[in-house]
Structure 1
Amino acid sequence: MPELPSSVRVALWVTRAWADGTPIEEILPRALPDVHVVTGDVERLATWREFGESALLVALPAAGDITGLPATSPEALDEAVAAGEALVAPGLGGLLVPDVRTFGSELEPGTLLEWHAHDAQPVPRHRVEALDAGELERQLRTRLERDTAVLDAIGGQPFGAGAARELADNAFGARWGLPPGIPPRAQRVIHVAATVSLVARLGLEVPDGALVASIAAQREDVLRGLLRAAERTLADATNAASAALAGWVPAR
């Protein structure tokens, strides 16, 4: 089953745990079933809750696009961009950035996830409360239709042909490892955004050798733009879901 970024899963599972009182140590294995060892500054999650935090947010930055990251140190910014994801404590201010490594042998590999804590500025709550899953979905679908038309005009096989189609079908049918209680509309947008992100990434990883260099560059630019749009939507939809799980906004 395709997996969501670790920070997306942890943000939603932890926010739900904070709401119903489930201990964090019981929640993390559900959020990260594919991770064998979780270490680092993970105790910060319990500390944030003790000091009144009720919703955990996520950012999915990339080089040249730090949308969603609060003001923080250059070192933390670089680390979050390199990881491509981070957890955000909106009320108290703070970041947790994951560092994923493998260990063991080729026959018995393991995954270790180490969280690194950084100071950051708080995130205004009204920005999160204003996120609307329906509008997020409309914007992403509009972008997808536009970019698909451009890719069709360019030619070639922009989404990796049959492999991408199979991946998309599997992704739309997957549960994605989400906790219960997420509003249906936000959950649907998370599914759509994550699927578009996966397919766009696959299109970038599987270049079409039939295209000349200039046309291939155009294709790559379109796919990169679509990938960033999908990841921004995924982060916003996750944060809208966290706001609902925390009771900041009505579930809708």
Structure 2
Amino acid sequence: MAVENIEVSCPEFYWRICLPQFQIDGEARTEEVLRERDLLSSAFHLLVAALSDREQYQQFSRHLVQSRREAVLGSAKPGAISNWRKSVFESTGLPDKIWTAASQLRNQSISYALHQVFINFKRFQKHFENPEIEALLKEFEEAHPGLKDVRDSFAHYDDRMRREGKVGGKKAKISGPLFYVADPGGIAMTNSEGGLSTLRVGREETLHVRELLLKAFKIAGFRLMDEW
């Protein structure tokens, strides 16, 4: 699976990185086992889709930023800014302010998708109770230490903005307001403790997740369809 020279935003990257089809035979082949396989695979494919969507958005955003800069520099010319806004709408179907805000939605999708992989990976390990799979799950957690904080900040955005949260099931004031911090390599935002949590999800991180899942499936007794 060579993807080094393929742009993440290209459909070919998605098809190359998607998990292969796995099967399991004998007494191990139960409805529950197949369900765990399908849920974990689907969660990973959701992550790849979210990553590809974000990359496409960022590529186009860079083009819009450059065109806006040119419009501002030429703002002495009547209609330069309004013409730029019109071009944004024609290209995206969205007003420029909404298009800019859509960046947050992409980051939210990435954090949600990766969290779904984590949740289903935990369920997968719980079902098989294998120490090798448990080690892979731990490696996943260590590779994404900011996942829970970033995901929670998105999921509870309104509470974070009000500095409200729950501790032990009870309402409690949290330490600081929610801020996004510029981080070209990922998502960085203040957490409920007032510190900074960073989540990096790109080509290398996604390939690493894929590698962990492939190992977990094989340890659990799954085989590739073409190995039958």
Q: Shared topology, TM-score over 0.5?
A: no
Larger Rg: 2
Instruction: Tell me which protein shows more helix as a share of its residues.
Output: 2
Which has the higher relative contact order, 1 or 2, with Cα contacts under 8 A spaced 6 or more apart? 1
